[in-house]
Amino acid sequence: MEDSKKFILWFDQISYKDVPLVGGKNASLGEMYSKLFPKGINIPYGFAVTAEAYKFFIKENRLDNIIKDTLVGLNTHDIVDLQRRGKRIRSLILNAKMPKELEEEIRKAYERLEEVYKREGVDVAVRSSATAEDLPDASFAGQQETYLNVMGTKKVIMAVQRCFASLFTDRAISYREDKGFDHFSVYLSVAVQKMVRSDMASSGVIFTLDTESGFRDVVYITGSWGLGEYVVQGKVNPDEFYVFKPTLKLGYRPIVTKRLGSKDIKLVYGASPNQPLREVKTSKDERMRFVLSDDEILTLAKWAILIEEHYGRPMDIEWAKDGDGVRVGSGQLFIVQARPETVHAVKTQKYYEIYKLKGEGKVICTGKSVGSKIGQGKGRVILDVSGIGEFQEGEVLVTEMTDPDWEPIMKKASAIVTDRGGRTCHAAIVSRELGIPCIVGTEVATELIRTGQDLTIDCSQGEEGRVLEGLIPYEVERIDFENLPETQTQIMMNIGIPEQAFAQAQIPNDGVGLARIEFIIGSHIGIHPLALIYFEDLKKKAEKDKKLKRIVNLIEEKTYGYENKADFFVDKLAQGIGTIGAAFYPKDVIVRLSDFKSNEYANLLGGYLFEPMENNPMIGWRGASRYYDPRFEPAFALECKALKKVRDEMGLTNVKVMIPFCRTVEEGKKVIEVMEKYGLKQGENGLEIYVMCEIPSNVILAEEFAEIFDGFSIGSNDLTQLALGLDRDSELVAHIYDERNLAVKKLVKEVIEVAKRKGKKIGICGQAPSDFPDFAEFLVECGIDSISLTPDTVVKTKLLVAEKEKALKR
């Protein structure tokens, strides 16, 4: 008889040197049990049926040569042939006899597990893990089977045999063939561990990086109700959480993202051993509620960091919450599986892209280009926001103009074309943040383009963008930026969409010169802050007002679980700002306070109840004038509370604050006083407060403004508009709008000189340096401290600035 120690290894006997015996993730469980369980990580106990046991099974049943012969001449691209051969091999293994020696060892191990948990027929998970003796870094994750809620000796032995057979699933065979792995250098071990009753609670997956961008400084947690298989398989839309590692280690509570999943179904225990699992629908309360509390999120994140540090590499981990008291009592969290993360390697964007057309097409119309990319797709003409439900992902959005109500479909568009607007209109700003091509101010696009028409949107030719008929071939040239030159002038970014921050932060940068919060308020919150503050009053009034009743119902649904509705605004805003702050940490992230105009605020849910009708909202009740006004101060207090939470609770003290549209020095003083009233005291814990320089009065009284603020950020969009006395959104006068106008440049030069003289920081966050290289050169000549740009122009502007700085030193 074979040495039984080679057939069975208990978790507290396993170390990582046992990989050849028990497979990557089973070795990880054993290693964690012996090394990390003492550090406070809960891991359900169990044993591994080793790869030696698998080899013994194959040998005793004389299956080696039969399996080899079955695989001779296999073409994995012939799906029918692959399925036929895979099915034959699995049938051979399933119909083979479990050797008595091995059967006896599994029986003894299971009986010992029954004794440990003092439960006859103890429920266990039976998990496969493949190992390649000579290929320790190969990833075989997800190719073999797992069986849950297995009870009784016979069923456990049967599940182990089914795991053996799963080494030859069609996907596993194909993977090994395509990668050139010998099928007989890969073996299988099986972990048998006590089930965590997550069917009565929740479970999910943890990655110790952001799986989309490869950003390493976050723990990404997903979770849903019931057993974890549905999360792993992608059958449910789970809740998502991001926790920022660096400040978590310092003792803060940096949950920077909490995103509610739909969680429509869950997998639970079945009614009998013959039906071990069943699918049920979740309740409305479960769908509307997060599966984890903040404390639980932070606990899992801390455990994930310990596991990652132990193995010295990013990890893919499965967790479960017990609803039945596996160890001490109900509600405990457990780690049930861990393996090295090998699919989503850390991605760093090491290149800059230049788009070039390889042919020409008929020009349908032209306008002002936004960005420098080329996009393609079928056109979709939508004249009113009520029609956005017709839009399909990947289409080109063609409309008159956009506002925040359009943003849900703008994220799905391959490109955007508008009749109206200039380079700083809503469509232009949002498309830059999304990184998609956009052409604005065409005047005739909605008349000339048909829905369903193939289009190429060309923004690669400079300031004029062209809408071309057909799908014109194009190429993308990549310029490496690993060895970009250093510049004395800081090159920062303009950021507005938190979901893109982790990826954008990997472009070489010196921080964020403008973090816009309007997208967070418009898309993540969508409710006027005063409607949340005075929600109880609105509920009473809604009894006699049908329109208001509908609004109240929508607010209740969006803020489900919040007793104080205003807390919803604070949490969502803090998470959005926190995500951006975390992405660029420890570099400065300068957050501009809300700068919606009254008409834009009115578009938020319940907004019409609190906003005035203004003839010219562009120069009306906006920016600083709102913050100290008794009618809006309670709403502004929520912004202050969100920023305080980001800095004090999340530990993101790299976040600074900037006040927009501050017309007078007295206004500035009032706003600073109001901020202090709500916990944001200038200078405390390194808090700096900047002012936007976007009104001529900011330049004329720059010395006085410098006395109360820590620095300036030039908003060239509004400064140009107000210096030249025109509406920047009007295509009728758009040809006059030019930041390079001598009047604008004189104002810019003057304020830079004052800031330098007063020892204050000064940068620019307007669109001009992104669009006009000569304007960027002008700023360098003036000695500006920083230039903040849209992400797609950072690299080329940095190269330009480096050359200009070099020339000035000659």
Could you give the residue numbers annotated as active site?
A: 426, 765
Spatial contact of 156 and 123, defined as CB atoms under 8 Å apart: no
Q: How far apart are CA 603 and CA 594, in angstroms?
A: 15
CA 702 and chain centroid, separation: 39
Spatial contact of 381 and 451, defined as CB atoms under 8 Å apart: yes
CA distances from 73 to 112, 166, 169, 181, 527 (A): 45, 21, 17, 15, 63
Q: How far apart are CA 216 and CA 346, in angstroms?
A: 7
Residue among 246, 255, 294, 247 nearest 651 (CA)? 247
Q: How far apart are CA 190 and CA 161, in angstroms?
A: 9
| Pairing mode of beta strands 124-132, 146-150 | antiparallel
Residue among 254, 241, 338 nearest 291 (CA)? 241
CA atoms within 13 A on the CB side of 588: 21
CA 708 and chain centroid, separation: 37
Q: How far apart are CA 610 and CA 623, in angstroms?
A: 16
DSSP string of 170-216?
HHHHHHHHHHT--TTSEEEEEEEEEPP-GGGSEEEEEESS-TTT--T
Residue among 587, 559, 576 nearest 517 (CA)? 576
Q: How many CB atoms neighbour CB 540 within 10 A?
A: 10
Q: How far apart are CA 781 and CA 773, in angstroms?
A: 13
User: Which region, left, alpha or beta, applies to residue 725 given φ > 0 means left and ψ of -120 to 50 means alpha?
Assistant: left
Q: How far apart are the first and last CA of the chain?
A: 85
Q: How far apart are CA 588 and CA 761, in angstroms?
A: 12
Phi, psi of 295, deg, nearest 5 = -60, -40
CA distances from 155 to 42, 192, 215, 276 (A): 26, 12, 43, 11
- Angle, vertex CA 48, rays to CA 65 and CA 7, nearest 5: 55
Q: Where are the beta strands (DSSP E) in 481-534?
A: 490-495, 512-516
DSSP string of 356-401?
EESS---EEEEEEEESS-EEEEEEEE--SGGGGGG--TTPEEEES-
Residue with tokens 């969006």: 558
Three-class secondary structure of residue 659 per DSSP: strand
Spatial contact of 566 and 532, defined as CB atoms under 8 Å apart: yes
Q: How far apart are CA 344 and CA 531, in angstroms?
A: 42
| Pairing mode of beta strands 454-458, 315-321 | unpaired
DSSP string of 435-455?
T--EEE--SSHHHH--TT-EE
Residue 591, classified by CB atoms within 10 Å of its CB into exposed (0-12), middle (13-18) or buried (19+), is buried
Spatial contact of 102 and 31, defined as CB atoms under 8 Å apart: no
Residue among 170, 169, 134 nearest 51 (CA)? 134
User: Which region, left, alpha or beta, applies to residue 761 given φ > 0 means left and ψ of -120 to 50 means alpha?
Assistant: beta
Residue 586: asked if its preceding bond is cis (omega within 30°), the reply is yes
